[in-house]
Amino acid sequence: MTLMADKNSKTVKQRLNSLIHHISFHPDERIELFSSLPLEEQTELLLALTPHIRRDLLVRLPENELVAVLEKLDPDDATDMLQLLGKHKRQKILEHLSYELRDMVSQLLEFDPNTAAGLMNVDYVQVDINDEIATVAKKFKLHEKRTGRSPIILVIDDGRLAGFLPGHELGFTRPGEKIKPYIKHIRTIKHSASHDEVTELFRSHPHSKVAVVNDNDDAVGIIYSDDVLNLLKEQESATLYGFAGVSAEETVTDSAKRKVKFRYKWLIINLATAFLAAATVSLFQDTISKYVLLAVYMPIVAGMGGNAATQTLAVVVRGIALRQIDLRSAYATLRNELGAGFVNGLINGFIVALVVLAKDHEPAIALVLALAMVINLLVAAAFGTIVPLVMSRLHKDPASSATVFITTATDVLGFMAFLGLATIILA
Q: If 0-12 CB within 10 Å is exposed, 13-18 middle and 19+ buried, where does residue 303 land?
A: middle
Going edge to edge, which strands form the sheet with 160-165?
Answer: 124-128, 152-157, 160-165
Q: What separation in angstroms does the CA of 357 have from each of 169, 374, 419, 426?
A: 78, 18, 18, 15
The whole-number pLDDT of residue 99 equals: 84
Q: What is the DSSP-derived secondary structure letter of residue 194?
A: B
The whole-number pLDDT of residue 53 equals: 84
The Cα–Cα gap between 154 and 161 comes to: 7
The Cα–Cα gap between 81 and 25 comes to: 21
* DSSP reduced 3-state for 164: strand
The whole-number pLDDT of residue 3 equals: 41
The whole-number pLDDT of residue 135 equals: 92
The Cα–Cα gap between 148 and 170 comes to: 18
Is the distance from CB of 78 to CB of 96 less than 8 angstroms? Answer: no
Q: How many CA atoms lie within 13 A of 281 on its CB side?
A: 16
The whole-number pLDDT of residue 243 equals: 52
Q: Where in the chain is the domain with CATH 3.10.580.10?
A: 124-225
Output the CA angle 197-230-196, nearest 5 degrees. 15
The whole-number pLDDT of residue 106 equals: 87
The whole-number pLDDT of residue 420 equals: 93
Q: How far is CA 390 from the centre of its chain?
A: 20
Is the distance from CB of 152 to CB of 209 less than 8 angstroms? Answer: yes
CA dihedral 358, 361, 365, 367 (to 10 degrees): 60
Among 390, 364, 245, 379, residue whose Cα is nearest residue 304: 379
Q: What is the DSSP-derived secondary structure letter of residue 150?
A: P
Q: What is the DSSP-derived secondary structure letter of residue 122?
A: -
The whole-number pLDDT of residue 2 equals: 45
pTM of whole model > 0.85? no
The Cα–Cα gap between 308 and 383 comes to: 10
**Residue 71 phi, psi dihedral angles, 5° rounding:** -65, -25
Q: Where in the chain is the domain with CATH 1.25.60.10?
A: 2-110
The Cα–Cα gap between 70 and 61 comes to: 12
- Give the chain's residues under pLDDT 50: 1-5, 7, 244, 246
Q: Yes or no: is domain 256-425 CATH 1.10.357.20?
A: yes
CATH number of 124-225: 3.10.580.10
Q: Where in the chain is the domain with CATH 1.10.357.20?
A: 256-425
The whole-number pLDDT of residue 4 equals: 44
Rounded (to 5) percent helix, strand, coil in the chain: 70, 10, 20
The Cα–Cα gap between 189 and 120 comes to: 11
Is the distance from CB of 67 to CB of 100 less than 8 angstroms? Answer: no
Amino acid at 92: K
Q: Which CATH number fits domain 2-110: 1.25.60.10, 3.40.50.300, 1.10.3470.10, 3.40.718.10?
A: 1.25.60.10
The whole-number pLDDT of residue 232 equals: 72
Q: If 0-12 CB within 10 Å is exposed, 13-18 middle and 19+ buried, where does residue 320 land?
A: buried
- For the chain, report the end-to-end CA distance as a whole number of angstroms: 80
Among 131, 117, 210, residue whose Cα is nearest residue 170: 131
The whole-number pLDDT of residue 253 equals: 64
The Cα–Cα gap between 81 and 66 comes to: 10
155 forms bridges with which residues in the sheet? 127, 163
Q: Would you tell me how many other CB atoms lie within 10 Å of the CB of residue 83? A: 15
